[in-house]
Amino acid sequence: MNAPPETPSPVELRPVPGSGGRTRSGSARIDAIDALRGLVIALMVLDHTRDFFHRTAFTADPLALDSGDPVLFLTRWITHLCAPTFVFLAGLSVWLQKASGKTPAELSRFLLTRGLWLIILEFTVIGLGFNFGWWLFAQVIWAIGLGLILLAGLHRLPPFSLAALGLVILVGQGVLASVPATAFGVAEPLWRMLAIPGPASTALGFLLVAYPAIPWLGIVLLGYGLGGALTDARGLKKRRVLLTAGGCILVFAIGRGLNLDGFDPRPWTVQDSPLWTLFAVINTSKYPPSAAYGLITLGLALLLLAGLDRWGHRVAAGLRVLGRTSLFTYLIHIWLAHGLALAVGVATGVPASAFLNTISDPGRLIAQGWGFGHLGVYVAWAVVMAILFPLSLWFDRVKRDRRDRWLGYL
């Protein structure tokens, strides 16, 4: 019996020659995807290292257009690529699993358990690592987790319809933001987790929502829905990847250039110099992701994906290691960066207690004058990466040598 149109043939995708073969979930391994995921892991480590080490991390907006500090602006802005890329590739990876022959029932079961596992990690290991104290922090792992749970049912629909739905969510999510969370009364925390970022009090403690799930679901659906358009048995359909990237950037340039209503909640204005005017144009809303933000970041991510498809030297090989162990590396880097900050702080006379509840209550660190300039941040990033990479390399070898089922969840 032929497979339905929305279900790719199990033989459509095969391991790409020269790649890592297949993922543990059975989907074809495409080196460029691993390398791109590894690149944004490295950028994400920079972003979080800056959070723990920069002297103004808790007192100033790094994207402020009046700071006069282009290095700080670019250090923060380049890391905007991380979350959309992770979320988009999460959706694309689901399509690859389905295209590689996983049955609808098997895929739904995996997505449900994987999504629940990610949510558990977000509100325990990850939140504690960021804060060194109990709180509830809804970040990108929460958004991906709920996206996978919803995709456990939605993947049975035609991919094109899910791509269209994802685009509608990305463009129209501003409608959700127009409904104040306080209008929901005791359900305010739930509405925040779904639609509007911000703080809320819950029976389990203080909740900070940075990544409401519905807006990011749009990017998950785009990744899944475009999977067949961007990949095939040979790996990437590079021409389509480039065309999609160019289309995203072109639409961004037109919509953002004209300050179209609803494109981004912060219209850009001319600044004192051409450089800062450019910064104003690209300084789009991430919380929640606007259409402008989604288009420019996904456009750049797809350009990088096409470039990495032909990049075969040792740096790309290292990025692939990080990409193949992305969740493990993500979990480790938080505790490593925060722990390194604590160690350096204690060595320079800052009480260890100041590093507890670091993000929910940074006042003690601010009072101590903690932090370094750009050089100190980049040195700390290099140290974290130097410790992190051997751990990722070790775990990559473990995953290649062992077939324990639980390894598929890391």
Q: With contact defined as beta carbons under 8 Å apart, do 342 and 355 qualify?
A: yes
Q: What domain range is 356 assigned to?
A: 31-409
Considering the chain, what percentage of its residues have pLDDT values greater than 70? 92
Rounded-to-integer distance, Cα 276 and Cα 278, Å: 5
- pLDDT tens, position by position, 275-312: 999 999 999 999 999 999 999 999 999 999 999 987 75
- Say if 17 falls within a structural domain: no
How far is residue 320 from each of residues 32, 61, 236, 258, 324, measured CA to CA in Å? Answer: 8, 32, 16, 39, 6
Using the predicted structure, report yes or no on whether residue 72 has a pLDDT greater than 90.
Answer: yes
- Say if 16 falls within a structural domain: no
Q: What is the dihedral of CA 71, 77, 82, 85, to 10 degrees?
A: -130
Q: With contact defined as beta carbons under 8 Å apart, do 384 and 49 qualify?
A: yes
Using the predicted structure, report yes or no on whether residue 169 has a pLDDT greater than 60.
Answer: yes
Which of these ranges, 70-74, 194-198, 369-373, has the smallest mean pLDDT? Answer: 194-198
Average pLDDT over residues 353-378: 95
Using the predicted structure, report yes or no on whether residue 15 has a pLDDT greater than 80.
Answer: no
How far is residue 328 from each of residues 325, 340, 395, measured CA to CA in Å? Answer: 5, 18, 8
- Say if 80 falls within a structural domain: yes
Considering the chain, what percentage of its residues have pLDDT values greater than 90? 76
Comparing 241 with 178, which gets the higher pLDDT?
Answer: 241
Residue type, 229: A
- Say if 5 falls within a structural domain: no
- pLDDT tens, position by position, 183-228: 788 888 898 899 989 888 888 888 999 999 999 999 999 999 999 9
- H/E segment holding residue 201: strand 198-202
Using the predicted structure, report yes or no on whether residue 406 has a pLDDT greater than 80.
Answer: no
Q: With contact defined as beta carbons under 8 Å apart, do 100 and 28 qualify?
A: yes
- Say if 119 falls within a structural domain: yes
- Say if 402 falls within a structural domain: yes
- pLDDT tens, position by position, 326-364: 999 999 999 999 999 999 999 999 999 999 999 989 999
- pLDDT tens, position by position, 120-141: 999 999 999 999 999 999 999 9
Task: With cut-offs at 50, 70 and 90, classify the pLDDT of residue 50.
Answer: very high
How many structural domains is the chain composed of?
Answer: 1
Per-residue confidence (pLDDT) for residue 309, from 0 to 100: 86
Per-residue confidence (pLDDT) for residue 23, from 0 to 100: 57
Q: With contact defined as beta carbons under 8 Å apart, do 69 and 59 qualify?
A: no
- Say if 8 falls within a structural domain: no
Per-residue confidence (pLDDT) for residue 14, from 0 to 100: 43
- Say if 248 falls within a structural domain: yes
